[in-house]
Chains A and B, each alone.
Chain A
Amino acid sequence: MPARQDRCFTKTKKLCPSCTLNTALFNSSDISNILSQSDADKLFPAFIISRLDYCNSLLSGCPKSSVKSLQSFQNATVRKLTGTKKREYISPILDIRNTVGNIPMEWYKDFPHIGYNLDGKKIYKPIRNKDELDDFLDKMENPEYWRTVHDKQTGSDVVLSDDQVELVNRLQRGQFGDVNFNECEPMVEFFSSDVMIHPVTNRPADKRSFIPSLTEKEKVSKLVHAIKMGWIKPRRVEDDGRGRYYNLWASEDSSILARHKMHLPAPKIPLPGHHESYNPPPEYLFTDEERALWEQQDPADRKLPFVPRKYSSLRQVPAFSQFIHERFERCLDLYLCPRQRKMRVNVNPEDLIPQLPKPKDLQPFPTTRSLVYRGHSGLVRSISVSPSGQWLASGSDDGSVRFWEVCSSRCMKTVQVGGAVKSVAWNPNPSVCLLAVVILSSERLLSAQQEGEEPAEGNGSVVWSEAEGEELNQGLRLKIQHPKAVHQVVWHAKGDYLASVMPDNTSHLQVYIHQLSRRRSQNPFSRNKGLVQCISFHPIRPYFFVATQRSIRIYNLVKQEMTKKLQTNSKWISSMAVHPGGDHVICGSYDCKLSWFDLDLSTKPYKMLRHHKKAVRGVAYHRLYPLFASASDDGSVIVCHGTVYNDLLQNPLIVPVKVLRGHVMTHDLGVLDVTFHPTQPWVFSSGADATICLFT
């Protein structure tokens, strides 16, 4: 093989000694003696591929005869290099018959030829009379069709050999074209990570590697000078103002825009305090009392949603059982938070407080406990003051009714009635001295009694019976037996009618109105509207107030229809009082609230007073003074000033003026009933501690 190459080289040397390729080949022939076969195989392609273009250009100027021999040589070389056989097609890269160069072949679309050969003769397009049908048939029938490629430069079809197809496949797979190329040859490390004894080079480092570069300094100083002189300008920021972008909302209404701009931050979670610590200071832990209060409270009213606990270490803290609930609450907060910005107005907070008069200016009202009426042995359920203001009657759970002289706290008379006394009421007519008493007798009957100094009494539906014998001597005058337990009795302002309540959820026979002079009773209601809590007569007009658990109904007794229904917004009404003017009602409830209704204003409470800590048991208006009082289980009586104006435009003025304490808490009960003196600004309160207090 080397011998043949040498011959070729020699021949070539003769033809074009100046040719660089041949020089290179020639040179290679010089070294071919020392090259092995494999090395030569590597070396020659490298020369040929790198110089092929150049060769082609060289060949262009040669006479045809020499070109032919050169070309054949070239082909032979390539064939040798690529290992193809003599009869096989040579890669188009090396096909140099068409000399038009690398131009779009469309330019020759309208010509019969497709280019020019080396001799300048036209190369004619092969006669292609294949239409689509032939093409299709060819596709179907010719097994070589899939490897047939159309050569644009020559216009002929080329059938690819197996090796070429393999090459294409390899290239398509991203592999090296040469099958024999090993991409994973072991690397020859010229500079290894191993530290050698001897350095690669022993030359000492140059001085210039230690000193700043003068060239760089010169360049920098030139740049600096240019910047100083203004020759170099900073890069221009591209100006967007020309209209590349524009304000989409420029024509929008500014108010809408302002609303959109509003940002509402989510309500913040309060920061955790010492309460939430796993090891809080002892003052943050609940005492038994606080804990009891916490457990008693409604979850919504609790100050803390959890009980602070102390653990000796963080390790012992259990999982927070309320976690899901707490997260839910937070989500609820976020969901329900108002979507409107609160406009903060700079207002002096004191200006916002309504101008309430000072309690000092609202005198007289009761302020101090003056007298204590002692004598009962059970809790005093109900008290009533005679219309003259001289006597006080009280009914107690010890089964007695006592009459007291108001000014001296002397018990003038005790009547044993043989059953817990639920309610007492003094006839408001000053000319008759009658007291209605509700007795819960042991056989669950109930009778209302009335007694007085000239004792007389009455009662009705029921069975009316005159008192006789022993009872007459005790002062009983009249007995009205009811079918069920009566809870309250009230008088009409004229003193001839009295009404009694028998709370019963299932029956419509809950209220009876008795007429004393004719000794008869009637049931005004034919339907059951709920458990009746308390009733009251209107002081002037023929109205009748009935308080059920959650609402107060006002009936017109003449027209026999309901005129109004007041919604109290409380859970369970305990007591009710009607203003002596008749246009206002206060109502106490077991959920600590006192609501004031202005009947002319609305059926909703005009004002809710939440001053009591526990259930409100009794409420009362003063007959003459603008005062009202409420008694509660927390042992206090709260006296409020409540002026009612004749002017319809002016709302009632309600000012709490005094908290009166004097009763001892007994069995968790404080004050059970409250009533005002008919003429003086004094208030009586009866308590579970079996006493009655007079506050003046």
Chain B
Amino acid sequence: MSQIQARFFTEDKRYVVDDVPFSIPAASEVQDLSNVINKLLEAKNASHSKVDFDFLVRGQFLRTSLSTHMATEGISTEEVVEIEYVERITAPEPEECMMHDDWISSVDADAEWILTGSYDKTARIWSTEGKPAMTVAGHTDVVKDVAWVKREGLTSLLLTASLDQTVLLWEWNSERNKVKARHCCRGHAGSVDTISVDPTGTKVRLERARQKLKRQQRTPLMTLSGHSEAVSSVLWCDSEEVCSASWDHTIRIWDVDTGGMKTTLTGSKVFNCISYSPLCRRLASGSTDRHIRLWDPRTKDGSLVLLSLTSHTGWVTAVKWAPSHAHQLVSGSLDNLVKLWDTRSCKAPLYDLAAHEDKVFCVDWTESGLMLSGGADNKLYTYRYSAQQAEA
């Protein structure tokens, strides 16, 4: 039993091969299969240059030899195996390292600017090239979370949340490089740990470290109460739904129109962070037991873990879905590592980014192909990744 009948297919129009079964050695690994595809493509197209491919067997990345993979997955070797191949994601390349004065608590990046919140009570604005543009100082305590609200031309609105129980709304003109505090949002009786801006950019949802969530413009529009402990993360799923993760081991999804709770997802450990991907409609949560769990927010039973991604050795403090890829997410952890995951390969991460020398507190993506991570070593690292696949 050394040969397996396999049929290769891809959704990438550039690399299509004939839809015929091939007989390939069962012991062949990714590199062997990649060579096979390259040979086929060269036969078809003389100008083809060598490309590395990754292979998916029934939606799972091939990481071992084909026979081993099929044995563990329980796939019959009698039939023709359908193997999908995609261009391999190249390793993210470190680009810039932005030094801060103190620990970096949060990062939010859009296509042009990067906003970071730091433990030195300031927020900073950087260009994507790593040049410091502005330092936003005004809080009397540690800035725990930052967010861009919206950008109109050269004027941007940004939010900073701090341990001093306030959220400040700033207006920043990038040309004149002036920042002006527009509003101070009060209403929390404890530190404000996380904020989130709804997709349309008009409403802000704040969260505080204690049992209530507040949704604010200037004064709180609505308080969402239900969590029994600190809320660690909030986000807008879409314009009607807010999702919050808490230390009381639950993720709750709220209806913003009524202010009522729609779903509760119950885990067994403290949730540190959540992220929602509109592409695959999944919630990813990072918790203190070192696992990243994927949830389906639409289930009604509320406690279904679709998948657990386990490789970190410390608390997962940050998790973020790729903005343009349905399967990729990045996670940061207290074990100083940032990991890039593909949900189709749940056994091991695609890449470990071991640039940080201390705890990682925040990660982010931009649609322009940048990954960012910041942590307790006062450094914000940016990585360039191959963002060419947007086939989903």
Chain A interface (Cβ < 8 Å from any Cβ of B): 363-364, 370-371, 388-390, 405, 407-410, 412, 679-680, 696
Contact = CB atoms under 8 A, between A and B. Distances in A.
Q: Classify the interface of chain A: helix, strand, loop or mixed.
A: loop
Given A363-B268, A390-B209, A412-B163, 9 more contacts: A364-B269, A388-B209, A388-B230, A390-B190, A679-B229, A679-B247, A679-B248, A680-B247, A680-B270
Interface string B188-200: 0011000000000
Contact of B315 (A364, A370, A405, A412): A370
Contacts of A364: 268-269
Contact of A370 (B190, B191, B288, B361): B288
Q: Classify the interface of chain B: helix, strand, loop or mixed.
A: loop
Contact of A388 (B210, B272, B314, B334): B210
Contacts of B234: none
Interface in B194-250: 209-210, 228-230, 232, 247-248
Given A390-B190, A680-B247, A409 B359 contact: yes
B107 interface: no
A390 B191 contact: yes
B190 A388 contact: yes
Contact of A410 (B103, B210, B229, B315): B103
A389 B361 CA distance: 19
Nearest to A696: B288
Interface of B: 103, 105, 119, 142, 163, 190-191, 209-210, 228-230, 232, 247-248, 268-270, 272, 288-289, 314-315, 334, 359, 361, 376
21 contacts: A364-B269, A370-B288, A370-B315, A370-B334, A388-B190, A388-B230, A389-B229, A389-B247, A390-B230, A405-B142, A407-B272, A410-B103, A410-B119, A410-B142, A410-B376, A412-B142, A679-B228, A679-B229, A679-B248, A680-B247, A696-B288
Contact of B334 (A371, A410, A412): A371
Nearest to B272: A407
Contacts of B272: 407
Contacts, number: 45
B269 A408 contact: no
A684 to B, nearest CB: 14
Q: Which 9 A-B pairs have the closest CB atoms?
A: A696-B288, A679-B229, A370-B315, A390-B209, A680-B270, A410-B119, A370-B314, A410-B103, A390-B230
A644 B310 CA distance: 35
A362 B21 CA distance: 53
Contacts of A389: 229-230, 247
A679 B249 CA distance: 11
A408 B230 contact: no
A408 B103 contact: yes
Nearest to B228: A679
B293 to A, nearest CB: 16
Given A370-B334, A389-B230, A408 B190 contact: no
Contacts of B228: 679
A389 B289 CA distance: 18
Contacts of A679: 228-229, 247-248
Contacts of B288: 370, 696
A364 B287 CA distance: 14
B371 to A, nearest CB: 21
B273 to A, nearest CB: 11
B296 to A, nearest CB: 24
B140 to A, nearest CB: 11
Contact of A696 (B105, B190, B191, B315): B315
A363 B268 CA distance: 10
A409 B105 CA distance: 12
Contacts of B314: 370
A408 B376 contact: yes
A696 B209 CA distance: 19
Contacts of B229: 389, 679
B116 to A, nearest CB: 15
Nearest to A412: B142
Contacts of B376: 408, 410
A408 B359 contact: yes
Given A370-B315, A390-B191, A390-B209, A408 B361 contact: yes
A410 B209 CA distance: 16
A403 to B, nearest CB: 11
Contacts of B268: 363-364
A696 B288 CA distance: 8
A689 B109 CA distance: 40
